[in-house]
Structure 1
Amino acid sequence: MQENEPQNAAFYWSTTFVRSLFEEGIEHVVISPGSRSTALTLAFAAHSGFKKHVAIDERSAAFTALGIGKYTGNPAFLVCTSGTAAANYYPAVIEAAQSGIPMIILSADRPPHYRGLGASQTIDQLKLFGNYPVFFHEVGEPDTHQRSLNRLKLAASQAVQQSVQKEGVAHLNFPFTKPFEPDQKYLRQVEFENEKQSRRPSPKYSREDGEIEMGETFWSDLISAERPLIVVGPTNKSDRLQFITPLARALDAPILAEPGSQVPTSRHTIQGFDGFLKNETNREELNADLILRFGAQPVSKGVNEFLDKHSEAMQICFMGPNRWVDGSLSSDKQVTLKGPLKIPEVTGAADKEWMKKWRKIEKDFKTFREQQLHPSAPITDGYVFSKVMENIPKKAFTMLSNSFPVRDMSLFGEFDGKDIYVNRGAAGIDGITSTALGISIASEKPGVLFVGDISFLHDTNGLLMAKKIKHPLVIVLLNNGGGTIFRMLPVHQIMSKYTSYFETPQTAKVAALCRAHNIDHTLVSRPEQIIATFERLIQRNGVHVMECMTGADESMEQRHALWNFDIKKDT
């Protein structure tokens, strides 16, 4: 048998594992080239049942896998060689772990007898990612004994099961000894055999549970509230919060749904809260007596200050079984939901004026905001957001970078939160473009990424994957000359140090970067160009960078005007 020949050992071992993974129903694999991982790479390459994506930068590869997992709710596989290659996955591992996104890492390694001797490209890869993974397994060197093969197949099942059900990262480490390349005749034989392998349409492991029923005492607390409020931070596919709107309807409660919450717009959702809740007078006027919290810790500073201000109100924090979420330490009760909450036939006792009060301040704030948003030279971040958001197709997804974009969406315009994605697990600016590329690859539909200039430059290697994008992906690059998010902080007053060490304006030419990556680039510097440019690009397949030159000072002035909106003075 050809698989018993020494030259084919690594490839046979890898093929056995890859076939086991195929039976688990996972589709996507992101591969970074390398020598030590040759057998794993060829095993995937020889199997037509996987969608293969090649990324030369492992950090970008990992965030691409994160985007795939974020959209599908299922893990993508990552394949890399030994040494620092796997270490470059670390930022995405942290983000996936803290935001509950499944991901599976298959790292090649030098065999144990090379370790600790200063051998080239050899580091300690055992539990490389510390406590972040939900599963780790040292696979061992290739072995044709049936017991070893059975353990290898089980490891494939364990990795998928743990990653899906525990919503996190699984890491399997594969030590290989040369030769890595199989006999080409055997490679062709494996390719032929793989075509006969039966397909599974979806993973056999799931997080599906029945609806969660709560007792009468729980519901009596909720329906007795006169001023109930629902706050929803960023969520992921496993949270299954489709009951939020029915719950708001039953309690007659306003919903503060942040970008990334996946909560659809309804008559209960309130827009503009990231603006008017920054004002202390407004927070005092909207004094809730019950706050129900879902999803991750809110991004909005106004919402977090609201939670702190209303610490006397009953706050109940609902969370998934694998993530404890209460960064503000303001909740009185914590409820673990292993499935959707069942809403019984109940009617809340909310004050009839409560919802009207929220609606009025929302309306007044929108009117005030409309007065602030006007064409100007230079254009402002807010004006770009307001105009682009009005023209995003309903079928498109939206990805928001951290720093200002994730805040500006809820500050400057109307949005339906059903298909908006954010990286708020660790809230870094690394890998934003790559994450958007992963979502685009998995969703196969148009997309829009809002990103600042520093975040964009931080992940330019993600542009190497642009050729994989078959549908429109418009990168709205807000180039305001640096990391202006720091202008929100007291350090902005230390002007002798601020610009060089914090805002860090860059001189890189985005147009030249785009040309180098064969990516379409359009420069927008006038307000009348925004809509026409965006409408043209969102209809064209592929990645397009729409670089909007905005004024940092003017943009901050606009934000401060909205943050200072006072319901008693401005209406």
Structure 2
Amino acid sequence: MTGERTASGLALEVLQQLWLGGVRDVVLCPGSRSAPFALALDSADRSGDLRLHVRVDERSAGFLALGLSTGSRRPVAVVTTSGTAVGNLLPAVMEAHHTGRRIVVVSADRPERLRGTGANQTTVQAGIFGTFARCHDVTAGVAVDGLSSLVAQACSGAGPTQLNVQLDGDLTPPDPDPLTWWHRPDNRATAQLRQAGDVGVQPSVSVPTDGEPLPLGPRTVVVAGDDAGPAARMLAEAAGWPLVAEPTSGARIGRQALRTGRLLLTTALRDEVERVVVIGHPTLSRPVTGLISDSALEVLSVRGRSGVATDPGRVARVLDVVPRVEAPEDPTWFRRWQAADERLSQLIDSGLAAAQGDSPRASGAPDLSPLAVAAVVGAAVGAHTTLVVGSSNPVRDLDVMATPWPALEHRFVVGNRGLAGIDGMVSTAVGIALGRPRAARTIAYLGDLTFLHDTNGLMVGPSEPRPDLTLVVLNDDGGAIFSTLEQGGRRYADAFERVFATPHGTDLAALCAAHHTAYERVDDLGRLAEALAESPSGARVLEVRVSRADRRAEAAWLRQLAEQAVPGDDPSR
């Protein structure tokens, strides 16, 4: 069939092809031009073939789709009307591009004959995302085979794709019976899909076994960044090398993983490193970035899901698959790192315990250490738990405080680390929770600015699927991370509070009440641990208030403890 279709007929065929490509969740934003999609999706949802999520804010909708794709490991579609609605998806599309998440943007558009005429809500939509998403401008005359092929590519290829669908004429189906607005593709197509395997599901990780062998000898550290997966752990364990694994790496488990690895990279141990293997996308710390950018070292970097190998210094030899070793290294090298890690962890924990017990603050002021809060959150991530971590300080605190989790206990710790932004994290967490309904519990750990940046993510209509999700909001009334950077120095003190710290004074309890979201203020670590062990029904917010006044001093304190843990005259060198 190559003839012209009606708008509703074209919309139906696009949705059927998405279903054949493995799409089972679709996020929809309201609009007139997208009406044929909306009606067909409502019918598909009622029939149980698709799960529909309706949102009124396109930016939140894009991140909801991102979270659903991350959690379910399937392609997810987000449908918008024409005009600025499409542009609001850009932040989520950018993140999907840099992490290889399969998001299919279905943007309803005016027909080509109206482009450039000044017609209402008519703009340049096709290709609006530029290099961040492949684009197909779909007309009513597209051939069936052509439509099938391009949708299949969108659903199976890494990263986002835009299907810009030109809809002309009557936007509502001619038949008023909702049963005609959607029907599942015929049995032949379904059988072919099943025979070929479920193309929708993407493995959470790929662990190649045919990588090049690495010779032993050079003192080597494995750095596991975001989405590294178990391949990093398996390499470190096979070789007996230290493993510096970020919380969202999927590799911060097992016997080689270090709790305080990035702090140890500020000590004399770092000077002895001769080779680094980088897997995933490390982004959390300058010590790690400095290590993997050092031209004096042998740096090997493995391509990630997005096809990019992390190599900020342009010094690495890029590998397509994870390398292998034929035998374990002499254990002396790792044991020194392990002993330093244990000493530093003990120094940090004992110092925090003393500060919490001996330094009471004024009545009513926050008296919890952000690091202590992160330790409780990390300990709450038991088997089959999902943890979504926001950017900025929470993930960095967790990187210092989270003891590596035991092996062989499935956990899912993720964040939007492709671009490490604070955009859309509430919606991302909601999507991940909805995409992983069998998880024992789902926790999101966010800073206050990250939470406030996407409070529209709490806006869920009464008929929409709702997640069981606990959001822990670390509220220090502003952007504390900047106090640890150059702009937090004394010379910028007069301008700092306004243009970097950005205090807001928002009443989170009132905000949650406006969104009909359960809320609790938590003032002690014991209650936080209890709350995180609970299994709530629906979404709830736990606000934990802390001070940001000591953040810069805290960073200096951690560096001092690291030096104590690794004395410069260590006789075992």
Short-chain TM bin = 0.7 to 0.9
Matches of 1:365 and 1:193, distance apart in 2: 59
Matches of 2:76 and 2:98, distance apart in 1: 17
What is residue 16 of structure 2 aligned with on the other side? Answer: 19
Residue 357 of structure 2 is aligned to residue 372 of structure 1:
no
What is residue 561 of structure 1 aligned with on the other side? Answer: 557
- CA deviation after TM superposition for structure 1 residue 388, in Å: 2.6
What is residue 387 of structure 2 aligned with on the other side? Answer: 398
Amino acid aligned to 1:347? A
Amino acid aligned to 1:138? D
Matches of 1:419 and 1:210, distance apart in 2: 17
Matches of 1:432 and 1:381, distance apart in 2: 19
Amino acid aligned to 1:512? A
Matches of 2:150 and 2:218, distance apart in 1: 53
Equivalenced residues, count: 537
- CA deviation after TM superposition for structure 1 residue 570, in Å: 7.7
Query: Does the CA-based 8 Å contact 1:232-1:298 persist in structure 2?
Result: no
Matches of 2:332 and 2:546, distance apart in 1: 41
- CA deviation after TM superposition for structure 1 residue 462, in Å: 0.6
1:338-362 Cα offsets, whole Å, 9 max, x none, are: xx66x57x214x3432011011111
User: Judging changes above 3 Å, is the alpha-carbon distance between structure 1 residues 381 and 569 closer, same or farther for their aligned structure 2 residues?
Assistant: closer
Amino acid aligned to 1:103? I
- CA deviation after TM superposition for structure 1 residue 534, in Å: 3.1
Amino acid aligned to 2:13? T
- Indicate the percent of aligned positions where both proteins have the same amino acid: 26
Matches of 2:75 and 2:284, distance apart in 1: 25
Matches of 2:558 and 2:72, distance apart in 1: 36
- CA deviation after TM superposition for structure 1 residue 411, in Å: 1.1
What is residue 173 of structure 1 aligned with on the other side? Answer: 164
Matches of 2:283 and 2:207, distance apart in 1: 27
User: Judging changes above 3 Å, is the alpha-carbon distance between structure 1 residues 450 and 227 closer, same or farther for their aligned structure 2 residues?
Assistant: same
Structural RMSD (CA): 2.7
SS for the counterpart of 1:548 is strand
Residue 26 of structure 2 is aligned to residue 29 of structure 1:
yes
Give the counterpart of 1:40 among 37, 58, 67. Answer: 37
Give the counterpart of 1:227 among 206, 219, 231. Answer: 219
User: Judging changes above 3 Å, is the alpha-carbon distance between structure 1 residues 326 and 388 closer, same or farther for their aligned structure 2 residues?
Assistant: closer
Matches of 1:564 and 1:330, distance apart in 2: 31
Give the counterpart of 1:416 among 400, 405, 408. Answer: 405
User: Judging changes above 3 Å, is the alpha-carbon distance between structure 1 residues 565 and 306 closer, same or farther for their aligned structure 2 residues?
Assistant: farther
What is residue 263 of structure 2 aligned with on the other side? Answer: 275
Amino acid aligned to 1:423? N
Matches of 2:405 and 2:94, distance apart in 1: 28
Give the counterpart of 1:148 among 126, 143, 158. Answer: 143
- CA deviation after TM superposition for structure 1 residue 73, in Å: 2.7
What is residue 521 of structure 2 aligned with on the other side? Answer: 523
What is residue 571 of structure 2 aligned with on the other side? Answer: none
1:436-473 Cα offsets, whole Å, 9 max, x none, are: 11100100132111111111111010111386565531
What is residue 450 of structure 1 aligned with on the other side? Answer: 445
SS for the counterpart of 1:392 is coil
Question: What is the 5 A alignment of 1:17-416?
Answer: 17-47=14-44, 48-133=48-133, 135-140=134-139, 142-143=140-141, 148-160=143-155, 164-165=156-157, 167-185=158-176, 187-191=178-182, 198=190, 200=193, 203-204=198-199, 211-214=208-211, 218-219=212-213, 222-235=214-227, 241-263=229-251, 265-277=253-265, 279-284=266-271, 287-308=272-293, 311-320=295-304, 322-329=306-313, 331-337=315-321, 343=324, 346-348=326-328, 350-374=329-353, 375=356, 377=361, 378-416=367-405
User: Judging changes above 3 Å, is the alpha-carbon distance between structure 1 residues 148 and 367 closer, same or farther for their aligned structure 2 residues?
Assistant: same
Residue 460 of structure 2 is aligned to residue 462 of structure 1:
no
SS for the counterpart of 1:501 is helix
What is residue 441 of structure 1 aligned with on the other side? Answer: 434
Amino acid aligned to 2:174? D
SS for the counterpart of 1:137 is strand
SS for the counterpart of 1:229 is strand
- CA deviation after TM superposition for structure 1 residue 480, in Å: 0.5
1:166-209 Cα offsets, whole Å, 9 max, x none, are: x1111011122242111344542344666978475664378788
- CA deviation after TM superposition for structure 1 residue 271, in Å: 1.0
SS for the counterpart of 1:465 is coil
Query: Does the CA-based 8 Å contact 2:268-2:566 persist in structure 1?
Result: no
SS for the counterpart of 2:69 is helix
Using the TM superposition, name which of 318-327 and 32-41 deviates more: 318-327
- CA deviation after TM superposition for structure 1 residue 74, in Å: 2.3
Specify every segment of 5 or more residues in structure 1 that has no aligned partner in the other structure, as ranges.
Answer: none
Query: Does the CA-based 8 Å contact 1:281-1:566 persist in structure 2?
Result: no
Question: What is the 5 A alignment of 1:461-480?
Answer: 461-465=456-460, 468=464, 470-480=466-476
Q: Give the TM-score normalised by structure 1.
A: 0.87
Amino acid aligned to 2:456? N
Amino acid aligned to 2:542? M
Specify every segment of 5 or more residues in structure 2 that has no aligned partner in the other structure, as ranges.
Answer: 362-366, 568-573
SS for the counterpart of 1:566 is helix
- CA deviation after TM superposition for structure 1 residue 565, in Å: 1.9
Matches of 2:372 and 2:513, distance apart in 1: 27
User: Judging changes above 3 Å, is the alpha-carbon distance between structure 1 residues 558 and 466 closer, same or farther for their aligned structure 2 residues?
Assistant: farther
User: Judging changes above 3 Å, is the alpha-carbon distance between structure 1 residues 491 and 184 closer, same or farther for their aligned structure 2 residues?
Assistant: same
Matches of 2:236 and 2:70, distance apart in 1: 26
User: Judging changes above 3 Å, is the alpha-carbon distance between structure 1 residues 328 and 280 closer, same or farther for their aligned structure 2 residues?
Assistant: farther
1:323-376 Cα offsets, whole Å, 9 max, x none, are: 222342254411112xx66x57x214x343201101111110111011122335
Query: Does the CA-based 8 Å contact 1:225-1:290 persist in structure 2?
Result: no
SS for the counterpart of 2:249 is coil
Using the TM superposition, name which of 319-328 and 92-101 deviates more: 319-328
1:229-248 Cα offsets, whole Å, 9 max, x none, are: 1111001xxx6x43333322
1:287-342 Cα offsets, whole Å, 9 max, x none, are: 1222111111342222223334x5423111111475222342254411112xx66x
SS for the counterpart of 1:131 is helix
SS for the counterpart of 1:126 is coil
Matches of 2:421 and 2:274, distance apart in 1: 34
User: Judging changes above 3 Å, is the alpha-carbon distance between structure 1 residues 474 and 28 closer, same or farther for their aligned structure 2 residues?
Assistant: same
Q: Give the TM-score normalised by structure 2.
A: 0.87
Give the counterpart of 2:501 among 497, 500, 503. Answer: 503
Query: Does the CA-based 8 Å contact 1:29-1:79 persist in structure 2?
Result: yes
User: Judging changes above 3 Å, is the alpha-carbon distance between structure 1 residues 450 and 175 closer, same or farther for their aligned structure 2 residues?
Assistant: same
Query: Does the CA-based 8 Å contact 2:340-2:565 persist in structure 1?
Result: no
Amino acid aligned to 1:291? V
Amino acid aligned to 1:136? C
What is residue 548 of structure 1 aligned with on the other side? Answer: 544
Amino acid aligned to 2:222? I
- CA deviation after TM superposition for structure 1 residue 485, in Å: 0.9
Matches of 2:207 and 2:457, distance apart in 1: 40
- CA deviation after TM superposition for structure 1 residue 409, in Å: 0.6
Amino acid aligned to 2:64? T
Matches of 1:25 and 1:533, distance apart in 2: 36
- CA deviation after TM superposition for structure 1 residue 153, in Å: 3.1
Query: Does the CA-based 8 Å contact 2:263-2:562 persist in structure 1?
Result: no
